[in-house]
Amino acid sequence: MRIGFLVVVLALAACNPQPATYAPDVERNFMMACEAQGSSAALCGCTWGRIAAEVKPGDFAALERLPGPQREDHPLTRQINGYVEACNASLTPQIEPGGDEPVPEP
């Protein structure tokens, strides 16, 4: 009985493969939601670029389907928050110690 169930589950999974790329509306929805929370277009765009490059579309979609508390506690949410922090740091002009001029980004 268990083997039969496993075969059915695997067959269904094979019929419904995960998308290899993000649909344009996923990016658009992310950007709109991100900017609606008060983030700059540059920060949202940088964050989306990291998500698109490093997170599988199926994993991102699964995260979005989780209820709020589960989504907040999920490791992928922490990973994405790390992208936000890294992007924010790269977009923020750095001040040289003892100076008041921003240091150009490399």
51 is in which domain, residue-wise? Answer: 26-92
- Name the average pLDDT for the chain: 81
Please say if the pLDDT value at position 98 is more than 50. Answer: yes
Answer yes or no: is 53 within a domain. yes
Please say if the pLDDT value at position 52 is more than 70. Answer: yes
Displacement of CA 9 from its chain's centroid (Å): 28
Answer yes or no: is 100 within a domain. no
**Residues 94, 101: Cα–Cα separation, whole Å:** 8
Answer yes or no: is 99 within a domain. no
- Confidence (pLDDT) at 10: 36
> Which tens digit of pLDDT belongs to each residue from 37-47?
999 999 999 99
Structural domains counted in the chain: 1
Answer yes or no: is 3 within a domain. no
Answer yes or no: is 102 within a domain. no
> Which tens digit of pLDDT belongs to each residue from 58-84?
999 999 999 999 999 999 999 999 999
- Confidence (pLDDT) at 17: 55
- Confidence (pLDDT) at 93: 81
Answer yes or no: is 77 within a domain. yes
